[in-house]
Structure 1
């Protein structure tokens, strides 16, 4: 059994819920609710309606209990969102570890595999992007993802801070791709929408914007959204590779 985690401060309650043993309400009639059931109800609502549809009242209604009964398990919405993120993120011990094992021992290949698995996780639950902004409590799964990315960079001459920055850069790129997809209504839609919006201008005044006309023409032929993920990822890793080489040679 896990020992109860002692945590104070603004995220203390969320940390205890994420890292401590199962919660048993101290007062009132006992019910069979678990934190997993509560998180799953919230995830279902967020998947269907987005974060805007998530509230303590909505989750309580989904579970068939009163809002006050739900508060006996989860003290507020911030803690509810923390549980939902933990439930929505894929367990890194599953598909992520398999992908990393298949990528081999190269740091670049492993970070690339990590980024693609993260992209799949965000695509499955895009609302997670909005729930993971700013300082907050991190659960075991999210910390497990971070651990595996940092482990892929071990022994490459990077400081701990630099390795963290690499993970932040890659994560930011992946998040940006998913944000664009959400705004355009799906994978591959960003470039199509941009092309449609600018198509008339390019057709009528393309001679004034020849570089733009050529770029949009290329997107129409070759596609761009998936290229955007891979192109940006490869350029980030190119830069990291230069730093790794410099450290190895210095």
Structure 2
């Protein structure tokens, strides 16, 4: 047995199959989908810290020992929950065939952000070394497929996807920290909330930070709209576009 089998074997079997042999005990009446769904309900209500084997068992009206016959531990439970909560990447498959890589990656980023907004605990559950299920791997597949034919190396394409997902995660983390959801507690996005908080500081100490004061005043004149997602996304795609153009030029010279 390899180290990976020992560490992640149970999660791999649960997410990808084949299923493990049934554990001894009463006739099995639960499903992995139902167990994952109960965990998602708990996490949506209480956050990831509020999820436990006991809590999920209570949601399903079974004993914790009965739950262990299906899922060996909390790590595997969370893996199932992530797979259940991730938005379906196939929503991107129906986009117009004539769309370029830039439009497809932009749509990919916005759909991914919608998933994090729907289930903010996913931000905490999808970090570190772990097993990813078919749904989550499908998101990486769609992004890499959008870059197919752009002349990037495999490593560059993967790095581009990591860069995009990092930007999306950063926006989602800010929204979560400022109250959750797309508009936080006050209905404002993170840009507007930050401006509000800084405005209080600048009223007293503004003379110490003239550049910041000027930037905030300019943002206020423009309406103070939240543009962090789109601004960062466009800059990332601009940079990728330059690299794609360089690769295309190199091919032409050859």
For residues 34-67 of structure 1, the C-alpha deviation after alignment (integer angstroms, 9 at most, x for no partner) is 0000000000000000001001110011111111
Q: 1:103 to 1:218 in 2, by over 3 A?
A: farther
Residue 150 of structure 1 is matched in structure 2 by 144
Q: Distance in 1 between the 2:78 and 2:67 partners? A: 14
Secondary structure in 1 aligned to 2:30? coil
* Matches of 1:104 and 1:177, distance apart in 2: 29
The answer for unaligned runs of 5 or more in structure 1 is 1-6
Within the candidate set 71, 74, 77, 1:77 is matched to 74
What is the CA–CA distance in structure 2 between the aligned matches of 1:223 and 1:104, rounded to whole Å? 34
Cα 1:91–1:60 shift into 2, 3 Å: same
TM-score by length of 2: 0.89
Match of 2:9 in 1: 12
Please tell me whether residue 40 in structure 1 is matched to residue 37 in structure 2: yes
- Name 1:245's counterpart in structure 2: 245
Runs of 4+ in 1 over 6 A off after TM superposition: none
Which residue is equivalent to 1:176?
A: 170
Which residue in the other structure is 1:66 paired with? 63
| Residues 1:96 and 2:92 aligned together | yes
**What do the CA deviations read for 1:66-117 (whole angstroms, capped 9, x no partner)?**
1111111000111000000000011222x2323xx14843011110010011
Identify the residue that residue 222 of structure 1 maps to in structure 2.
223
Q: Tell me the distance in 2 between the aligned counterparts of 1:146 and 1:104.
A: 21
